[in-house]
Amino acid sequence: MHSAFAARGAGAPLPIWFVTADSYAQVRDGLDPVARAFAVSAQFEPKPGQALLLPGKDGALSGVLFGLEPTDKAPDRFLPGRLPGLLPAGTYGFANAPHDTRLAALAFALGGYKFTRYRKAGDNAAKLVVPDGVDAAELTRIAEGVALARDLINTPANDMGPAELEEAARALGGRHGAVVRSIVGDDLIAQNFPLIHAVGRASPRAPRLVELTWGDPAAPKITLVGKGVCFDTGGLDLKPSSGMLIMKKDMGGAACVLAAAHMIMDAKLKVRLRVLIPAVENSVSGAAFRPLDVYRSRKGLTVEIGNTDAEGRLVLADALALADEEAPELIVDMATLTGAARVALGLDLPPFYTHADALAEDLMRHARAEHDPLWRMPLWRPYDSMLDSKVADLNNVSSGAFAGSITAALFLNRFVEKAKAWAHVDVYGWTPSAKPARPEGGECQAARVLYALLKERYGS
């Protein structure tokens, strides 16, 4: 069980009453006289996110009031994720139902996350008894997956290079009985992954392709591909210092697919799971790949380098080509790929691209249900010509200044032909300022949606 949760039977939990402007009077009037008098004298207003600690007759804490939005105001179902930061040590339980009991309990666990690798932090003092009818094991595997992604993204590049990212995949594989292999350094050339090698060869930390496989080989084949650029300087098209500041998060796609993989394997979904992570550092040295270089990809398409800072799509291209060779049921890639996606949709709403309408509808449905937002964007074929090159099959960047996220997705689409369905998710992987259940720092996006989709299709 997750550390945010308490086992039943260890005494009566302190009640948390969820209140809105409409329900507050009724809840208040049902409190014991001391707590009711205190709430009145404190002039508590049930504003969203506001909490009031209520005393009992002996002065000890007897319960908590916590404000929620009205149901007609598109409530934030993760708002209860603020509670771990507001409550003193103790064991708590929901005294009445929030807007979504399951998501409120998950938010409680996610809101207590702390990154503790370099600075000590105590265990979450406030613990929640999982509400009746909510699967504690399910919440635990999801919260563990999210914490894994956050930990990986938050770890700085000096301690999270390609080798360390591979080790994280090996540790996860070992936990679940998966097989993990890697192709490292010049072996990438020998085994036909030239784009991964080109992007990573300038760093003294060898590039690699990490592969995790799990499950019955006869089960439906599901392949996840995650961008694992452990730090991105921009290469010879060097980023300004402001652009490099949080580039430790550029392996966020890899972190998110590992989070999803943990959920899938822990739930023992009936799939043959394959995870592919091209892990590199995009550095500057005499060995760096250059603007206008041309490389033949694993798929055979030649790619002209229009910009070395568009390296993520290059490493994904070789990995996607490998994934596509066995024609799986589904390929999903996740990547911190474009600033254009952030301009279009902001930091909290990752776009995704797919030709499969049924898959898109399922992803959107689960995104709403899981409070893990996504938004479908078009693979607009007329923009394909923006990737034309005069000397190669295609350029790695668009010839124009617009539609950068779409053209990046169109580039990746060139490397997928045989899979029955494919989706590309352009995640941000970072929360700049804390929000309910989302502490500042690395963030796991789209993994919960993907897990919910696969659980619906391939769960027991």
Please tell me whether the overall predicted TM-score, pTM, comes out greater than 0.85 for this model: yes
**Number of structural domains, the chain?**
2
* 180 and 308 fall within a common domain: yes
* 224 and 192 fall within a common domain: yes
What is the structure's pLDDT at 9?
72
One-letter amino acid at 366 equals H
Range of the domain at 51: 5-134
How confident is the model over 58-98, as pLDDT tens digits? 889 999 999 999 988 888 999 999 999 999 999 999 999 99
Least confident of 4-8, 292-296, 322-326: 4-8
Last residue of a domain, one of 134, 157, 188: 134
* Site of tokens 């254009």: 340
How confident is the model over 17-27, as pLDDT tens digits? 999 999 999 99
Helix, strand or coil for residue 92?
strand
Helix, strand or coil for residue 266?
helix
* 92 and 176 fall within a common domain: no
How confident is the model over 93-127, as pLDDT tens digits? 999 999 999 999 999 999 999 999 999 877 668 99
* 126 and 146 fall within a common domain: no
* 57 and 96 fall within a common domain: yes
Tokens of 380: 């607009």
Beta carbons within 8 Å of 294's beta carbon, 6+ residues apart: 302, 303, 304, 305, 391, 392
Please give the helix or strand (H or E) that residue 331 lies within, else none. strand 330-335
* 408 and 430 fall within a common domain: yes
Tokens of 3: 């550390």
CB 226 within 8 A of CB 275: yes
The residues that are catalytic are 239, 313
Average pLDDT, integer, range 172-191: 98
* 190 and 91 fall within a common domain: no
User: Domain containing 249 — which CATH number?
Assistant: 3.40.630.10
User: Domain containing 25 — which CATH number?
Assistant: 3.40.220.10
Q: Beta strand 90-94 with 14-19: parallel, antiparallel or unpaired?
A: parallel
Predicted confidence (pLDDT) at residue 13 exceeds the cutoff of 80: yes
* 126 and 145 fall within a common domain: no
How confident is the model over 413-422, as pLDDT tens digits? 999 999 999 9
Q: Rounded to an integer, what distance in angstroms lies between the CA atom of residue 360 and that of residue 376? A: 7
CB count within 10 Å of CB 29 equals 8
Q: Rounded to an integer, what distance in angstroms lies between the CA atom of residue 13 and that of residue 10? A: 8
CB 347 within 8 A of CB 428: yes
Average pLDDT, integer, range 225-247: 98
How confident is the model over 418-458, as pLDDT tens digits? 999 999 999 999 999 999 999 999 999 999 999 999 999 99
Last residue of a domain, one of 106, 134, 162: 134
How confident is the model over 307-324, as pLDDT tens digits? 999 999 999 999 999 999
Q: Rounded to an integer, what distance in angstroms lies between the CA atom of residue 200 and that of residue 335? A: 17
DSSP string, 142-188: HHHHHHHHHHHHHS-TTT-SHHHHHHHHHHHHHHHT-EEEEEETTHH
CB count within 10 Å of CB 217 equals 7
Q: Rounded to an integer, what distance in angstroms lies between the CA atom of residue 169 and that of residue 210? A: 8
How confident is the model over 238-269, as pLDDT tens digits? 999 999 999 999 999 999 999 999 999 999 99
* 145 and 277 fall within a common domain: yes
Tokens of 148: 């894994």
* 330 and 369 fall within a common domain: yes
* 70 and 218 fall within a common domain: no
What is the structure's pLDDT at 123?
65
Q: Rounded to an integer, what distance in angstroms lies between the CA atom of residue 257 and that of residue 261? A: 6
Last residue of a domain, one of 99, 134, 169: 134
- The chain-wide mean pLDDT, for the chain, equals 96
Predicted confidence (pLDDT) at residue 133 exceeds the cutoff of 80: yes
* 115 and 204 fall within a common domain: no
Q: What is the DSSP-derived secondary structure letter of residue 435?
A: B
Average pLDDT, integer, range 207-217: 98
One-letter amino acid at 454 equals L
